A and B are shown apart, each in its own frame.
Chain A
Amino acid sequence: MSENMRLFGSGHGACPGCGLPIAVKSVLEATGPCFVANSTGCLEIISSQYGKSAWGVPYIHSVFENAAAVAAGIEAALKALGRKDEGPVVVFAGDGATADIGIGCLSGMFDRGHDVLYVCLDNEAYQNTGNQQSGLTPPGSSTTTTPAGKVLPGKVKAKKDMPAIALAHKARYVATASVAFPRDITRKVKRALEFEGPKYIQIHSVCVTGWGIDGKQAIPVARLAVETALYPLIEFEDGQLVRVRKIKDRKPVEEYLKPQRRFRHLFKHPKGKEVIAELQRVADENAKKFGLDA
């Protein structure tokens, strides 16, 4: 058995080509043995069925919206019991669990300064239950609760800026990452763990079913999110932007949108052009704000 497989194992129930296990193993590669608190969601369902756990680290799932608080409790217990040397405390939570239903617990954890690494696995909707929109669903995405219709072009509102929310809480280390670059995830987690206190890493993770792509397209599509600057890879330490992933020959957002079923309607919908222009504007702004263009 490989080292990787001792912390998270094969036989989990993720769809072929799912980004989540790539993210998880890349994180665990950096943490080694650690304590995991997981929210209800895709990762939980594919990995924690009774008697079929894929976890080789101590793992807990309580309810949907409280993983940050559960992790804070583990950290407090390890402190009180003199067991902090057993390993770091890590949260894996989905985008909905993070930006919507669990944001209160997350805010509390940040605010109290727990020594916890919070990893948001961002597949941009409630995918486990069939692609319902979350606060991190990007505009224009057709989900089951923001379907494209004759009038509406899918989700209308912007993607919530969670890294900014983490920064506003003075989280020590804040970064975004992508399953397109697993070694970058591992490096960022290693760096994050050098900081004592709350840390936030948001990993863009492909959902083959929700996004409507083939398993083989998973990594190329994830790469395009980064190469169009729709998903900027940025890194903050104590509030300062310290590193970004530069983009050579930034691609137009259409290249990212086209292969995905969730955006397909934009190319024929009356409001599609407008939405695509808005997404391009977001990408341009990201590139400018973070100095992404190489």
Chain B
Amino acid sequence: MGEKLRITLGAVSRPLESLKIKTGDWGAEYPVVIEENCKACGDCVVYCPDLCIELVETGEVDEKGRKKKVAKVNYDYCKGCGTCSVVCRHDAIKMEIKEIYKG
């Protein structure tokens, strides 16, 4: 006997269950952040349609003593659309072809 299918009243769904769908394998390309170029402007964060870029602290501090941040991609969800690389005004994101699509 298989497990019982759990259905809810009127097909009500729980919040944010999409997070279990890892869309990271969708694209042929993936973005690489060139950390030394990144100005932590947050543009890529605002544009990424898959909500998978965050600004994270590098652990370093800048000249003014502020904690340095850089863009960091969550590859679990990145669909490789390239939007982040297009909107970045500081040439800090480069798209690369995934190994399996090479050749």
Q: Closest CB of chain B to A219's CB: distance in Å?
A: 6
Measured in the bound complex, the distance between the Cα atoms of B95 and A214 in whole Å is: 14
One digit per residue, 1 when the CB lies within 8 angstroms of any chain B CB and 0 when it does not, for chain A 205-237 equals 000000000111111100000000000000000
Q: Is the CB of B51 within 8 A of A9?
A: yes
Chain B residue nearest in CB terms to A55: B15
Contacts A21-B49, A21-B51: A218 and B23 contacting too (C-beta < 8 A)?
no
Q: Is the CB of B54 within 8 A of A9?
A: no
Partner of A182, one of B47, B77, B82, B85: B47
How many residues of B sit at the interface, in one of the four size bands?
Answer: 35 or more
Contacts A11-B22, A22-B47, A219-B87: A53 and B77 contacting too (C-beta < 8 A)?
no
Q: Which residues of A contact B17 (CB under 8 A)?
A: 51-53
One digit per residue, 1 when the CB lies within 8 angstroms of any chain B CB and 0 when it does not, for chain A 15-57 equals 1111111100110000000000000000000011111111111
Q: Closest CB of chain B to A207's CB: distance in Å?
A: 12
Contacts A10-B77, A16-B80, A55-B15: A26 and B52 contacting too (C-beta < 8 A)?
no
Measured in the bound complex, the distance between the Cα atoms of B20 and A15 in whole Å is: 17
Q: Closest CB of chain A to B70's CB: distance in Å?
A: 15
Partner of A215, one of B16, B20, B81: B81
Q: Is the CB of A53 within 8 A of B82?
A: no
Q: Is the CB of A11 within 8 A of B77?
A: yes
- Within 8 Å of chain B (Cβ to Cβ): is A4? yes
Please provide the chain A residues from 133 to 169 with a CB less than 8 Å away from any CB of chain B in the complex: none
Q: Is the CB of A10 within 8 A of B86?
A: no
Chain B residue nearest in CB terms to A60: B12
Q: Closest CB of chain B to A50's CB: distance in Å?
A: 5
Measured in the bound complex, the distance between the Cα atoms of B87 and A219 in whole Å is: 8
Q: Is the CB of B81 within 8 A of A218?
A: yes
Partner of A10, one of B47, B50, B80: B50
Q: Closest CB of chain B to A22's CB: distance in Å?
A: 5
Please provide the chain B residues from 18 to 52 with a CB less than 8 Å away from any CB of chain A in the complex: 18-23, 26-27, 45-52
Contacts A10-B74, A11-B22, A216-B81: A53 and B15 contacting too (C-beta < 8 A)?
yes
Q: Is the CB of A17 within 8 A of B13?
A: no
Q: Which residues of A contact B54 (CB under 8 A)?
A: 2
Q: Is the CB of A52 within 8 A of B21?
A: yes
Please provide the chain B residues from 74 to 98 with a CB less than 8 Å away from any CB of chain A in the complex: 74, 76-77, 79-83, 85-87, 95
- Within 8 Å of chain A (Cβ to Cβ): is B14? yes
Q: Which residues of A contact B95 (CB under 8 A)?
A: 216
Residues on A lying within 8 angstroms of B by beta carbon are 2, 4-6, 8-22, 25-26, 47-57, 182-183, 214-220
The 7 closest A-B pairs by CB, nearest first: A11-B18, A215-B81, A16-B81, A17-B81, A10-B77, A11-B21, A54-B18
